[in-house]
Amino acid sequence: MLGVGHALTDKGIRVLVMKGPAIGKMVYPDPALRPASDLDLLVLPDQVTRSRTILGDLGYQCLGKRFEVSRDFYNDEIFVNQKNQKHNRQVELHWDLHRFSGIERDGGVADLVDRAAEVNAELFAFEALDPIDALIHRAVSNAFDKGTHMRMIWVYDVKLLAEHLATPDDWRALQERSVAWRARLAVEHSLNMAQAWAGLELPDGFEEFSTWPEPTETEVKAWSKITEKQPGLSDLLGLHMDNASSRLDKIRYYFHLLFPSPNYIRSSYPPAKEWLLPISYVRRWWRWIKNPVS
């Protein structure tokens, strides 16, 4: 993490560390209690291509250049280190909090960067989402990106992040930002799980979600589609794409969805032989049909 972060910041790119590595150092009593297999980084959208080049210079291969061809369909690019196999932690370079750009919201990535918190580790310091934004991101990830599976560590993340909100103003900010990010229901869902499974106690005045600001109609409609047991494929594709997307953009999105980079397919669905790579594409399509949210 140290080498990647320094390489980006030395080139003038503000990068925020997200999820496990950041949460572990921000709110866990011992960061070793919060393992993480990937390194999730967030940069401003206009810094993605430069960041990709810098990661490439460090020996990280991009498994698929999604940003140029379908930036509104995805929210990250995945990198693996090809020069040094000891540095085998996958890097995910994000330009948004989630991949459902069709859900219009008032929040933006620039706001997240402006509110970034500085985290001081033993050997280095880095920037991360502030605890309120980190809780919203964790809740959105739990609800939107994890499909039907859930890990207790993700629930415990929510508990510790919530307990890190020390004042009523923090909780009011959580309410306001969750509505702006169309994550009000996702936050309620995650806080309910943290109460039931991890013993979280909400502070006085915030324990009744009926008193929280109402989610927008846009969020309510999106939530009902995402959380259906068998969501319609057309509904989910609509959630991925901004209403302003042109017909050409949509064609590119569909093509990239069906035929992502061969490097990405080799990594995610390894073929037994190189000539069996087309079968790996079929495996991807079948998995996507069975569980479109994942």
First-residue to last-residue Cα distance in the chain? 26
* pLDDT tens by residue, 151-184: 999 999 999 999 999 999 999 999 999 999 999 9
Count CB neighbours of 133 within 10 A.
Answer: 27
CA–CA distance, 20 with 39 (Å, rounded to integer): 8
Average pLDDT value over all residues in the chain? 87
Tell me the pLDDT tens digit for each residue of 49-95.
Answer: 999 999 999 999 998 888 887 777 789 999 998 876 666 789 999 99
Query: How high is the pLDDT of residue 189?
Result: 95
Give the least confident one: 1-15, 63-77, 222-236, 273-287: 222-236
Mean pLDDT of 229-243: 61
Tell me: pLDDT of 146 over 60.
Answer: no
In angstroms, what CA-CA distances link 50 with 7, 11, 61?
11, 9, 14
Smallest Cα–Cα separation from 18: which of 116, 106, 87, 102? 116
Mean pLDDT confidence for 128-155? 88
Task: Provide the CATH topology of domain 1-129.
Answer: Beta Polymerase; domain 2 (3.30.460)
pLDDT at 245 over 70: no
Give the residue from 34, 14, 10, 48 showing the smallest Cα distance to 121.
Answer: 34
- Res 102: pLDDT: 65
| CB environment 138-155: b (16+ within 10 A), e (fewer) | bbbbbbbeeeeeeeeebb
* Structure-block tokens of residue 78: 């995945």
Alpha carbon of 186 to those of 147, 220, 230: distances in Å? 13, 10, 19
pLDDT at 238 over 70: no
**Sole residue written with tokens 């990937």:** 38
Could you tell me the two tokens for 291? Answer: 């569980």
Q: Where are the domains of the chain?
A: 1-129
* One-character DSSP codes across 78-97: EEEESS-TT---EEEEESSS
Mean pLDDT of 89-118: 88
What does the pLDDT read at residue 53?
Answer: 97
Q: Is 13 exposed, middle or buried (0-12, 13-18, 19+ CB in 10 A)?
A: middle
How much of the chain is in helix, strand and coil states, percent to nearest 5? 55, 10, 35
pLDDT band of residue 147 (cuts 50, 70, 90) is low
Distance CA 230, CA 46 (A): 36
pLDDT digits (tens, 9 = 90+) for 177-217: 999 999 999 999 999 999 999 999 999 999 999 999 999 99
Q: What percent of the chain has pLDDT over 70?
A: 87
CA-nearest of 234, 223, 261, 271 to 105 is 223
E strands, the chain, where? 16-18, 38-42, 60-62, 76-81, 90-94, 117-120, 125-128
At 294 the pLDDT is 47
The amino acid at 232: G
- The pTM is what? 0.84
**Helix-then-strand count for the chain, H and E:** 14, 7
Q: Residue 21's closest CA among 44, 37, 3?
A: 37
pLDDT of residue 269: 86
Q: Which two tokens stand for residue 157?
A: 């993340």
